[in-house]
Chain A
Amino acid sequence: IAGITQAPTSQILAAGRRMTLRCTQDMRHNAMYWYRQDLGLGLRLIHYSNTAGTTGKGEVPDGYSVSRANTDDFPLTLASAVPSQTSVYFCASSPTGDYGYTFGSGTRLTVV
């Protein structure tokens, strides 16, 4: 089934640890995004990539990094996790010039 795969589904992480959230799409979409979803705040853009080899900062990039080595993969890395990064993380993709995003099912991350 075409779409976006995120892994892990959920994770409990000790503060200070490094963690990479994985995102893979099989639709050959050029653009990919990482959002975090927090109660009362909706979805906030962390980082995005318009095409392979390029990335950009979103609204809340601090503490996160991304890479886009190829079209399909867009991992999100927390270098040293803090409790305020407890959230549900969604990866999304879209064709160039299209706002119709396809979302993954999310990763629920708890930093303790």
Chain B
Amino acid sequence: GDSVTQMEGPVTLSEEAFLTINCTYTATGYPSLFWYVQYPGEGLQLLLKATKADDKGSNKGFEATYRKETTSFHLEKGSVQVSDSAVYFCALGGVRTGGGNKLTFGTGTQLKVEL
């Protein structure tokens, strides 16, 4: 079945450092890929998405490129801020087979950004 693997956290960075959170997936067909972010005490919010190979999703300075050859969708940001501290979830939207548009989530990676 579909699955998503994320790097273990927590990831601790200094402000203005470069961020990479790795995400790889296993799926049949050509899934859509997503990054969701969860700030403390809140529900998840969609951060960015890519729906086909070589697409780059971007939002709020974050980027991720859909790499079919490596089945990856790594999240990057050039300069993190303290306000980016949150838990980041990679997710996969599988091929629809009558089961609707269900997402499969990774386990999440906690990011802590310090001054």
- Chain A contact residues, CB within 8 Å of chain B: 4, 31, 33, 35, 40-45, 48, 50, 56, 58, 90, 92, 94, 96-101, 103-106
Contacts and interface: CB of A to CB of B under 8 A. Distances in A.
Query: Nearest 4 pairs between A and B by C-beta?
Result: A103-B43, A99-B93, A42-B107, A50-B100
Interface residues of B, number: 23
Interface in B58-115: 89, 91, 93, 96, 99-103, 105-108
Contacts of A101: 36, 44, 46, 103
Interface in B39-64: 41-46, 49
Contacts of B103: 45, 99, 101
Contacts, number: 59
Contact of A42 (B49, B102, B106): B106
A105 to B, nearest CB: 5
A58 B102 CA distance: 9
A95 to B, nearest CB: 9
| Best-surrounded residue of A42, A58, A106 (most CB of chain B within 10 A) | A42
A97 B101 contact: yes
B101 A104 contact: no
Contact of B102 (A41, A45, A103): A45
A82 to B, nearest CB: 23
Given A31-B101, A56-B99, 5 more contacts: A42-B89, A92-B44, A99-B93, A101-B44, A105-B41
Contact of A43 (B34, B100, B105): B105
B32 interface: yes
B43 A43 contact: no
B53 to A, nearest CB: 16
A90 B43 contact: yes
Contact of A100 (B41, B46, B99, B106): B46
A42 B100 contact: no
A40 B42 contact: no
Contacts of A96: 101
Given A41-B107, A42-B106, A42-B108, A106 B43 contact: yes
Nearest to A4: B43
